Amino acid sequence: MKNLKQYLIAGFGGQGILFVGKLLANIGLISDKQVTWMPSYGPAMRGGTCNCSVCISDSLIGSPVVSEADVVIAMNGPSYDKFIGSVKKGGAAYIDSTLVDSKYDGDDITVHYVPATELAAENDLKGMANIIMLGKLIKESGLADSETVKKAIEASVSAKKANLLAANLRAIELGMNS
């Protein structure tokens, strides 16, 4: 459990929650870490709220299920309500402020507000608010260098969607500069 980082990513079906989790896990894998990715599966996948747990660690990961997270990414209101209380003290939350109206009242965690859905729409990156959020996370946490991120995107994007590689990179950059 050395240097275990636990991430919870949540939103609604279609926002690419599982994909951005996979991308995050691939960043861990390319950085030579142990990683796990666990989706919420079942009825929740069909249009309702959707979440996934990602763990990145230097040693064997026990449970891949995250109940208390170092980092929460919340991409809609219900996800914010459900998971903001799951952030460990001293942890961080990344909120898509286009879709979440609430503001966190407290100073025990660091909260970053990113109007990711709006930024995506303005920059012709529709459907990539998830990647913009990850860009912000990478910038704030120093998770990985740009070469690692690029490799992780290449490993995560399926061959059929290879034409979206450049857009993903642009979305990461946009998030880093937001």
Partner 1 sequence: MSKTLMKGNEALAEAAIRAGCKCYFGYPITPQNEIGAYMSERIRKNGGVFLQAESEIGAINMVYGCSATGTRCMTSSSSPGVSLKAEGISYLAGADLPCVIVNVQRGGPGLGTIQPSQADYWQTTRAMGHGDLRLPVLAPYSVQEMVDMTAEAFKIAEEFRTPVMLLADGLLGQMMEPVSFNEIGGENKDDGQSSPNWAASGHKNKREKNIITSLFLDPIELETAINERFERFEELRAKYTRSESTNTDDADIIVTAYGSTARVIQSAMEMAREEGIKVGTFRPITLSPFPEKALKEATKSAKKVLVVEMSMGQMVDDVKSALEYKLPVEFFGRQGGFVPGPQEILEVIRRMK
Residue choice 6, 26, 51, 97 for contact with partner 1 (CB under 8 A): 26
Q: Which of 13, 31, 64, 109 binds partner 1 (CB under 8 A)?
A: 64
**Least distance (Å) between residue 177 CB and partner 1:** 28
Residue indicated by tokens 């979305």? 171
Residue 83, interface with partner 1 (CB under 8 A)? Answer: no
d(CA 127, CA 12): 12
Does residue 47 touch partner 1 according to CB under 8 A?
no
- Considering only 9, 20, 25, 133, the residue that binds partner 1 (CB under 8 A) is 25
Q: Does 60 bind partner 1 (CB under 8 A)?
A: yes
69 contacts partner 1 (rule: CB under 8 A): no
What CA–CA distance (Å, rounded) separates 174 from 178?
A: 6
Measured over the CA atoms of residue 121, residue 52, residue 114 and residue 81, the dihedral's sign is: positive
CB 110 within 8 A of CB 72: no
From 24-32, 114-122, 123-131, 162-170, span contacting partner 1 (CB under 8 A)? 24-32
Q: Does 153 bind partner 1 (CB under 8 A)?
A: no
DSSP string over 23-49: HHHHHHHHTT-EEEEEE--SGGGSSSE
| Burial of residue 124, with CB atoms counted within 10 A of its CB: 0-12 exposed, 13-18 middle, 19 or more buried | exposed
Q: Look up residue 51 and give its DSSP letter.
A: E
If one asks whether residue 63 binds partner 1 (CB under 8 A), the answer comes out as: yes
Q: Based on CB atoms, which residue is closest to partner 1, 45 or 109?
A: 45
Min dist CB 122 to partner 1, Å, is 32
**Is residue 87 within the footprint of partner 1 (CB under 8 A)?**
no
74 counts as binding partner 1 under rule CB under 8 A: no
Phi-psi region of 13 (alpha: psi -120 to 50; beta: other; left: phi over 0): beta
Q: Given the rule CB under 8 A, which residues bind partner 1?
A: 1, 22, 25-26, 29-30, 34-39, 41-42, 60-65, 67, 155
